[in-house]
Amino acid sequence: MSKKKRKAKKNKKWLDKELIYFFGKMLKYINIKKLNFYCKIGFDNPAILAEIVGVLWGVLFFIYSFLDNYLCINKKNSKVYIEPDFLKNQTEVIFESIISVKVGNIIIAAVYYFLSNTFGKRREAKNYGRSSY
């Protein structure tokens, strides 16, 4: 691998880390005021339908808990329903949400990010080799 390619790859990794850090800081400014999810699933075989609904509940609440840990969710206005339909072979999904972000917070976070990158870089550990022989 040439020196230019290695340098470009290193710069890309640095950029990815910086973007993840920036968006991680931005998550605290996102408010979810309403989150409704309704899913009606139908299948001919009730045993397979039960497994599908169980997996769907697990995946759905994994995503919901992830969102709840990193974002501000109003739990009073949030509803999640998964309804099995044993008679019809159909799928119906309705998803409603109201997400609010204040523009001033985005501008302040972007200015802080820009100033911290230009004047005060975060320090990272450097690899100098072995510390003892």
| pTM, 2 dp | 0.60
Statement: residue 7 has pLDDT above 80? no
Closest CA to 34 of 108, 106, 94: 94
DSSP 84: E
Residue 38: pLDDT above 70? yes
User: How do residues 56-74 score in pLDDT, each as one tens digit?
Assistant: 999 998 988 888 887 888 8
pLDDT tens string 9-33: 555 565 567 777 777 777 777 888 8
CA distance 44 to 22: 47
| Angle at the Cα of 120 from the Cα atoms of 17 and 111, rounded to 5 degrees | 75
No. of H helices and E strands in the chain? 3, 4
